[in-house]
A and B are shown apart, each in its own frame.
Chain A
Amino acid sequence: MIELNEEYCKGCNLCIVYCPRDALEPAEELNEKGIHPPVEVEDRCNGCRLCELICPDFAITVVEKDEEEE
């Protein structure tokens, strides 16, 4: 599960470029800031957490699915 803090995201799209599993794609609609923020493609993320580290804006958090359910 990839969580995005849209307030922090500046739309550099580095997470989309460097995701080894193509688990992210740009949103179709523009958000308030005028950028296409990344959205998760379902059932692609394997939790490698590269996007978390590569994000220069501290906007992405990868959460394990189990934790979410709990």
Chain B
Amino acid sequence: MEKKEEKREVEMISAKEIRDKYLRHDMMPHIFCTGCGIGNVLDYTLWALEKEGLDMDKTVFLSGIGCSSRLPGYIDVDSLHTTHGRALAFATGVKITNPELNVIVFTGDGDCMGIGGNHFIHACRRNIDITVIAVNNYIYGMTGGQVAPTTPEGDYATTAPYGNLEPAFDMSEMAISSGATYVARWGVKRPNQPINSIQEALQNKGMSFVEMMSPCTTAYSRQNRMGSIEEFWDWYDNKTILAEDHERIKQYGSEEEKEELKDKIKVGVLHKEEKKSLSERIQELIEEVQV
């Protein structure tokens, strides 16, 4: 009997309850294009918030400029919509001034890696206790499909009609090498892994970076002939490989399998370590030097 009751407690609350609790219904329906994955990123974040049970009065959302940076506007919570690329700089300020707050940043690939690239590497280096959810759609979607720092080499964009000549940035690898303590990358097609990953990122004390690969069905899809919404969403399945599988093939795989790996993008929890965050160290210092 007891077990049954426990089970009932675990049974999830309905989606309607979550939406009524977190969403600003007066702002809906949201502005994202048909088939865009950014709505899913918001949905998964709400589920993660509910699972983690964060106090929304002690949570701040920040964002810069871009499609993905519209997200905090749809959540019924205090938020800062900041200047282009500077969301992480503002987040640093918020977290250092009031370490009690949970700081979550929504950002895009252009906002985080292009315009705010400098802030990003330094936020990772300082290991501030914030959670960054970066939506990577390989293109500057909102301004009409220009080349972004993450656009893969050879892909088309409005500013690269003969194919992109520049090599692309890998956001997650960049975060790892700069010093972030939790780094994960997921696609939007499978819901449960990103929900759990965002929850882990919220729990992590330190810079947590979750990269969500989201299909841009308007700018990227049109330029690169990705086909229908469904075909584009499925394209990610062939393009990605779990980090564990990647590691296994690298060690024990045949030459052919290793050859195939070259075009694939690793997904999964890519990096995890424990390191003191900057806000913790500042608090320690304050206690140490206070008379």
Contacts and interface: CB of A to CB of B under 8 A. Distances in A.
Interface of A: 7-8, 10-14, 17-18, 49-50, 52-63
B36 A56 contact: yes
A58 B28 contact: yes
A58 B230 contact: no
Interface string B27-47: 011101111111110011001
Q: Report the contact-size class of chain B (Cβ under 8 Å from the partner).
A: 20 to 34
Given A12-B35, A56-B39, A57-B29, A17 B230 contact: yes
A12 B15 contact: no
B23 A58 contact: yes
Nearest to B14: A61
B233 A56 contact: no
Contacts of B233: 14, 17
B40 A56 contact: yes
Nearest to A10: B34
The 5 closest A-B pairs by CB, nearest first: A56-B39, A53-B191, A12-B35, A10-B34, A8-B29
A12 B30 CA distance: 14
Given A14-B229, A53-B191, A58 B35 contact: no
Contacts of B23: 58
A63 B188 CA distance: 24
Nearest to A56: B39
A5 B138 CA distance: 31
B8 interface: no
A7 B26 CA distance: 12
A56 B37 contact: yes
Given A53-B43, A53-B191, A58-B43, A12 B19 contact: no
B191 A54 contact: yes
B229 A58 contact: no
